[in-house]
A and B are shown apart, each in its own frame.
Chain A
Amino acid sequence: MKLEYSILVGGAAGQGSRKAGLVIAKLFNKLGYNIYIYDDYQSLIKGGHNFSQITAAEEPANCRKEKIDFLLALDKKTITAHRAELKSGGLLFLSGDGGGKEGIAIPAEKIVKDLGGLPIMANTALIAGFAKAIGIEWKTVKEVLEKEIDRELEKNIEIAEAAYSQTQALFKIEKIKARPKMLLTGNEATALGFAKAGLDIYFAYPMTPASSILHYFAEHQKELGVLAIQPENEIAVASEAVGAGFAGKRAAVGTSGGGFALMAETISLSAESETPLVIVNSQRMGPATGVPTYSAQADLLFTLSAGHGDFERFVIAPSNAEESFYWAGKILNLAWKYQSPAILLLDKEVSEGTFSVDKGVSRLVKKEKESLWGGKSVYQRYKDTVSGISPMAFPGEKGAIIKGNSYEHNEAGITMEEKQEEIQKMQEKRLRKFEGMQKEIDDMDAIKIYGNKKSKTAVIAWGSVAGVAREAVSRLGFKMVQPIVLSPFPEKQFKKALQRSKKIIVAEANALGQLSKVLSGYGIKANKKILKYNSRPFTEEELEKQLKKA
């Protein structure tokens, strides 16, 4: 039996349960475990009920589990909300003086009070007590706290030390022989992937669950050299990015469904003016404002079609942080190679979930060169080439007059309304480019296959649900197919993967079965759809049960 622990830490908003979750995850990371953290919070600033649930496992971890081994309660509500999820033999850690039936009491509030700390520091005491109880060395606890706490570190260490010494060790948690990995949220990984592929400017208007990409860039402007700009709305965000692209700087933007809707006109502009535009659309539950801090995968059809007119775009949906790192870099390079709109389609669980990431992924991402003019001939922004790709030049380059245009235009970029053959010719130039995009996708690993490759039952899932499905099929012996690139659609790879499949089950987090609809357009019929649309992600056990029934 492979080692696996599920730990939940909860409290009211403002009590620091998210930070506590990250610190606990880092403790297990130091012991060699793979990590996944699910963050659950409401659309409010203080009060309510927030929690982080950590999966620490010997195997790769991509989802939350139904049952928990250790429950850490910063408030009473956490106990009432989650006690039933404790496994038999699971341990409850709570802040309090007496021990007794409830669980293991750590006098967190008393320690904080005695040592003159702030109320929020109770979470430090609880974590330190918990660490002692499960046999994590003080050295490790101290190391992690020193790295993670940026305010009043000394006081926190003092509090942690007191809680650690006042708690009894119950057992010693096993170490795993593996090097610690990076712990990244999907959004952090996306930012780093972009930066590695040469991003110059990131534009965004705040919107959950994409905001933390903007925050990450803003916080790391010095190290990453990427400008972080917050314009007045999403329309400004997208059109400024197109302006920056026209002037030769790599730009990306990020938002969720509602903001993405406002960007639709600019997606079309990007296609017609052939200016690269990269958008991160991190889905949350709609329609409209929906359930804004919870998840869904309900923007697939919209993302595949947003923007008026006939054009192709890249849509890529990673399922975890490592994939986000890689594909963020890739999609930026693709957008510049094909001078096209490109959308990185995340969802709340990918964006805000924390995952173990192998640092090796960073070496796979680099800035790839786009097609440039080079000053040899008379410059024409929309030169009609065999590939349909017209070399780029940027304002400031001597000898070129660069005319970008949202009207249909001639090769020089001048508006053209009369000449029908010319209008058709320019559309056909872009059509050849779209063929190149399709070929590009066909030549890369646009889908991934997991599980029992010989199984006649194939489970198809994308985005964060693919991470859950990967784990859920392991005991069932099914094959699991994950499309990562969704546009241009990797039809050949898909059909090959499903050649011998007798039964196809599609699992996704939306009500209409959007991926099934896409698949049906390519003649792939889902025999069974497993749909979840209550705004909360699948747990592994939940999906496994449903797959078994199917």
Chain B
Amino acid sequence: MELQKTNLITQCPNTWCPGCGNFGILAAFKQAIEKMISQGTKREDIVVVGDIGCNSKIADYLNLNSFIGLHGRPVTTAEGVKLANPNLKVFVFTGDGGSLNEGLDHLIHAAKRNSNIKVIMHNNRLFALTTGQFTAVSPKGMKGRSTPQGTIEEPFSPLELMVASNASFIARSYSAKMEHMANVFLEADKHNGFAFIEILQPCVSFFNPIQFYNERIYEAENKAIESEEETLKLAREWNYSESGKIPLGIFYKKERPVFEESARELIGKNIEIEKCLEAHY
């Protein structure tokens, strides 16, 4: 019913592969948006910023303000949006390729400065739209178009990286868990600051560890949610290889000054260009 009221879906034909994990993410995000709107968020204040990749087609499918920019740059584009108008709620949709390969520097710096944007990273652990090449989080030995004998590189953990980068909200969810995802989105929205949400998303065409995920995921709870050490413990339960348990949930949350608010405090309200001109005689 809510869905009809707010009409969140465009006429754009959906081109994701049948069975793609992205459908679950779209549904959960829609659910979270409906809840936010029912709780008073204005629809016109929501902005979705997309990367380039399967994940970002979500911007075309959502009948919301959106900007699809360049590969690897949705985080910076979103930061520009938020800086221009701090009243907007800015959600970034990106993939592991976009934010851990092409745009890794931007992700780290947005976390560091605590830009008040919410980064939702669809983690299918490879480049899918370019037909399957390894990314920063592909398991060692993964065979792809560019690594027919298996990649020789080890993955790194984006969650550990986010702890090191001082991200103020860190979470992981799974594309098969609708309610869990929707709840994490809502909690990220409530958090005043940068949020990084990793969503494990099987790629039905090129890398489908659905069985593996179903066996290993569990909903964890971090009782010391402001502790970097406890967060790291949780994050290190799985190192993106073939072993370990995979915890889901909000791993870390701690309020600290928000970049856009602090930046605005520095500028004047009464513009006095004349005063500047006079200083040059």
Contacts and interface: CB of A to CB of B under 8 A. Distances in A.
A269 B69 contact: yes
Interface in B79-110: 79-85, 87-88, 105-106, 108-109
A403 B268 CA distance: 32
Contact of B277 (A359, A398, A412): A359
B263 A227 contact: yes
B50 to A, nearest CB: 9
Contact of B80 (A26, A29, A196, A241): A241
A498 B128 CA distance: 57
B77 A243 contact: yes
Interface stretch (A154-162, A244-252, A443-451): A244-252
Contacts of A223: 268, 271-273, 275-276
Contacts of A196: 273
A247 B81 contact: yes
A246 B109 contact: no
Among A203, A223, A412, residue most surrounded by chain B Cβ atoms (within 10 Å) = A223
Interface stretch (A46-54, A104-112, A229-237, A290-298): A229-237
A106 B34 CA distance: 78
Size category of the A interface is: 35 or more
Determine chain A's interface SS by DSSP, over half rule. mixed
Nearest to B13: A418
A396 B84 CA distance: 11
B67 A224 contact: no
Nearest to B49: A243
Interface string B1-38: 00000000011100000000000000000000000000
A404 interface: yes
Nearest to B7: A401
B76 A243 contact: yes
A100 interface: no
Interface in B98-128: 105-106, 108-109
Interface string A6-35: 000000000000000000001001000000
B80 to A, nearest CB: 2
Given A201-B83, A240-B80, A400-B44, A229 B64 contact: no
Nearest to A182: B280
Contacts of A203: 80
A248 B271 contact: no
Interface in B155-211: none
Interface string A185-196: 000100010011
B83 A415 contact: no
Given A231-B76, A239-B73, A396-B88, A244 B63 contact: no
Contacts of B84: 200-201, 243-249, 251
Interface string A395-425: 1111111111111000011110000000000
A392 interface: no
Which has the most chain A C-beta neighbours within 10 Å: B49, B52, B76? B76
A236 B75 CA distance: 9
A128 B268 CA distance: 37
B235 interface: no
Contacts of A287: none
A273 B281 contact: no
A224 B273 contact: yes
A236 B109 contact: yes
Contact of B65 (A231, A233, A402): A402
A71 to B, nearest CB: 26
Nearest to A354: B280
A373 interface: no
Nearest to A407: B68
A319 interface: no
Contacts of A534: none
B97 to A, nearest CB: 16
Contacts of A539: none
B137 interface: no
B70 A266 contact: yes
A245 B57 CA distance: 22
A273 to B, nearest CB: 7
A220 B277 CA distance: 11
A5 interface: no
B233 interface: no
A225 interface: yes
Given A223-B272, A229-B83, A243 B67 contact: yes
A247 B147 CA distance: 41
A466 B79 CA distance: 39
Nearest to B73: A239
Interface in B222-281: 263-264, 266-273, 275-277, 279-281
Contacts of A183: 280-281
Most chain B beta-carbon neighbours within 10 Å: one of A183, A243, A396: A243
B221 interface: no
A406 B106 contact: no
B273 A229 contact: no
B276 A180 contact: no
A190 to B, nearest CB: 13
B151 interface: no
Contacts of B106: 232, 235-236
A188 B280 contact: yes
A401 B80 contact: no
A242 interface: yes
A188 B270 CA distance: 20
B45 interface: yes
A456 to B, nearest CB: 41
Contacts of B266: 221-222, 227
A247 B268 contact: no
- Give the residue among A147, A196, A396 with the most B Cβ atoms within 10 A: A396
A227 B264 contact: yes
Given A240-B77, A398-B44, A229 B65 contact: no
Contacts of A236: 73, 76, 79, 105-106, 109
Contacts of A279: none
Contact of A240 (B59, B64, B65, B83): B83
Contacts of B76: 231, 235-236, 239-240, 243
A51 to B, nearest CB: 22
Contacts of A241: 80
A397 B85 CA distance: 12
B281 A182 contact: yes
B78 interface: yes
B281 A239 contact: no
Given A396-B45, A403-B67, A231 B109 contact: yes
Nearest 9 pairs between A and B by C-beta?
A243-B80, A249-B84, A240-B80, A247-B84, A222-B268, A243-B77, A182-B280, A244-B84, A244-B80
7 contacts: A221-B266, A222-B267, A243-B79, A244-B83, A273-B69, A396-B88, A414-B60
Interface of A: 26, 29, 147, 180-184, 188, 192, 195-196, 200-201, 203, 220-227, 229, 231-233, 235-236, 239-249, 251, 265-266, 269, 273, 357, 359, 362, 394-407, 412-415
Given A224-B271, A247-B85, A406-B70, 17 more contacts: A188-B280, A220-B276, A225-B269, A227-B263, A229-B83, A232-B108, A235-B76, A239-B69, A244-B81, A244-B84, A246-B81, A251-B84, A357-B280, A395-B44, A396-B44, A396-B88, A415-B12
